[in-house]
Structure formats: C-alpha cells, structure tokens
Amino acid sequence: MTLLRACDALAGAKMTRDYSQRPARCKLNVDSQRASAHPGRDSPGVVGLQRSQPFGQAGDVGNYSRRVRNRIHGYTDPVFQRLSASSGRLRSMCGRYVVRQSADDLAEEFGVDRVEVHERLEPDYNVAPTKTSPVVLARPPRDAKDAGPVRQLRVLTWGLVPSWAKDPKIGSRLINARAETVHEKPAFRRAFGTRRLIIPTSGFYEWFPTQQRTTSGKPVKQPFYLRPKDEGVLALAGIYEFWRNPDKPRDDDDAWMTTFTIITTNATDDVGHIHDRMPMTVSRDNWRNWLDPTINDPDDIHALMAPPPAGSLDLYPVSKAVNNVKNNGPELIEPLPPS
C-alpha cells in the first residue's frame, strides 16, 4: 500500500499526534518502539505540505492524497506525487542545513556577551557534517576559568566526538542524537547534562525517495528545503563535547577538538510526509535555561526543547545540486519551478 492510499484510509478520521496509531506507511515506517518517552512533547500537526498557505487542518484528513499530489507548491510531476512505499529507511535527519546570518546578526539575535569568531562568517547554503558552523553556548571564558558561564558565539565542528573516542572520525557518524535516548547513550549523556548549545539555522534540507530508480535500482531522492515562514532564525537544540588528541601536549590548543550534534525527534505531521525525523528546537523563552550548565535533571532539560510548532515551516522541493557538498550558493534554496 502506498503512502497516499494509507492516508486515504484515514479520510474522515480524527488526526492524532500518536504515530503508533497511524498506518505504518503514513508515518514513514517510524519504529513504534522508538516513540517518544516524553508524551505530549510532539506538537500535533495542523497543516499539510505547503510553501506559503496552509491547506490542511487538524481533523481535516479527507482527500488527503489529492492535496499531497496537487498542492506541494503546485507540482503535478509524478516525482512529487507520492512517496515510495518500498523505499526503506530514509537518510538520518538532520543531514544538511543553511546559515545565512552574519556573526553580528547572530550575536544580536541571541544576546551574546562574547563573540569567539575570528574569521568572517560567510553565508553557508550547504552546511554538511564535519564542516564548521556557528553555535551559541554558555561557559566560562577561556581567559577567566573561575568566572561564571558567559553566553558566547563560537564556531564548532558538526559531528560529535566523545571524549573517550580513540578516533575522531567517529564524529561523522554522530551528527544527530535522538531526543528519546540522548540522556542515556554513553556518547551523549554527559554532554546533555552540562554542555548544551543552540545551532542557529535559516532552514534545513530533507530528502524523500521517489518511485523513480537509479541505474543501480535505488530510489531517486528529491531534496526539500524547510524554513521558518517568517524567515527568521531557527534555533536548533544540540550538545557539544571536547576531545583531546593524546599525541599532543594537553596545553596545546591544537590538541583539542570541540564538536556538536543536533538533537532530533519524531516529525510533526507537516514534515512527516517527507521524513520521519526532524530537529528539536529551543524557544526564545527557554534559551537561558537550555544553555545553563547547572540545570542537570534530564526531565527538566527535556522540557526545554520541542519540535518546531506545527505549521510554522514552509516546505518546497529544490534542486538536486544540494546533494553535492561542493555546491554552495543561494540558488540551492530556490524552489523548483512548477512542472
């Protein structure tokens, strides 16, 4: 059964935020055993796929497949008409994102007290794992270790390397941490308790597998760009860690690597049509507590993050040029013309 047929079966039914009660294809094969351990944190979906205008409301599931086929930014090409029911697991989320703001813009937006950015921040339309990217965190300044935490803007490497790792290459596999288990996993639990940060983004990319096939028989994946409707900054929840190269002296600055990962959760309805996961965000009201390293209780920390509010994101297909990390420019986030 395709995703669209499965969703058609829900016509007239009441929408629910509980993915375990939805048809498997409609939730993109989310493992029911991996449902959130914190009920109530997944925002109920109130819109369907969209670019600028909502076309689905909570409780309005009738004719769902027609809306998906015909109203994804006006596309009618078969590539955009349906998701493949036999495509298997999607790539991990979040795998690429965009940062368009300057260091000064980010410092003002997040009330940063200290800017630890020593090179000009150029807009990056294709931030990929192992690249460096600006983040906001709070800790004592390097030149005043006895001082209290100070909110800082820094540039760190995406892909968390645990302090106990023997090889820093492990970071390329730890670009995301599941919100459901981040407080338990050995690679993340210490950082979750005391080293949290915010990753400022302008938007992020996701891919879904179409029914088209490559020469090797794999599904052709169509990239989509997701951004805040108000085109503001999306504050993603993350954690960071320090790793020391044992081959260098401890007091050598080059001996240390600071890396981060993005926390993800089950996708809300408006994103779940494309991917089963999405990044956690931190609302402005929770920035202070999220960055506070003295708040250590896992339940208290979990309560500080949430998925983007349903209906707050624009979503539209973009060029496959984003698949190549060497491509970088504003053309990557331009919507594809309707076919």
CATH class of the domain comprising 87-339? alpha beta
pLDDT tens, 169-198?
999 999 999 999 999 999 999 999 999 999
Question: Across the beta sheet with 219-228, what order do the strands follow?
Answer: 124-127, 96-99, 203-213, 219-228, 313-317
Three-class DSSP labels, 52-68: CCCCCCCCCCCCHHHHH
Q: Is 120 exposed, middle or buried (0-12, 13-18, 19+ CB in 10 A)?
A: exposed
Phi/psi at 66 (5° precision) = -60, -40
Each residue's pLDDT tens digit, 86-95: 233 334 457 8
Residue numbers in the chain where pLDDT is lower than 50: 1-92
94, 108, 180, 231: which is the annotated catalytic residue?
94
**What is the pLDDT at residue 93?**
59
Distance of alpha carbon 156 from alpha carbon 97, whole angstroms: 15
The full set of domain ranges for the chain reads 87-339
Residue 206 among the catalytic residues:
yes
**DSSP string computed for 125-145:** EEE-TTSEEEEEEEE--TT-T
CB atoms within 10 A of CB 29: 14
The single residue of 7, 26, 180, 206 carrying the catalytic annotation is 206
Amino acid at 224: F
Q: Rounded CA gap, 276 and 105, in Å?
A: 32
Would you state the pLDDT for residue 122? Answer: 95
pLDDT score recorded for residue 338: 84
Tell the residue number behind the tokens 């984003």, with chain if given: 322
Tokens of 198: 């915010």
Q: The whole model's pTM is what?
A: 0.73
Kindly write down the DSSP assignment for every residue of 89-128, as one continuous string: PPPPS--EEEE---HHHHHHHTT-SEEE--S----EEEE-
b/e code 162-201 from CB counts within 10 Å (16+ = b): beebeebebbeebbbbbbbebbeeebbeebbbebbbbbbb
Integer Cα distance of 142 and 119 in angstroms: 18
Q: Give pLDDT, residue 297.
A: 97
CB 197 within 8 A of CB 160: no
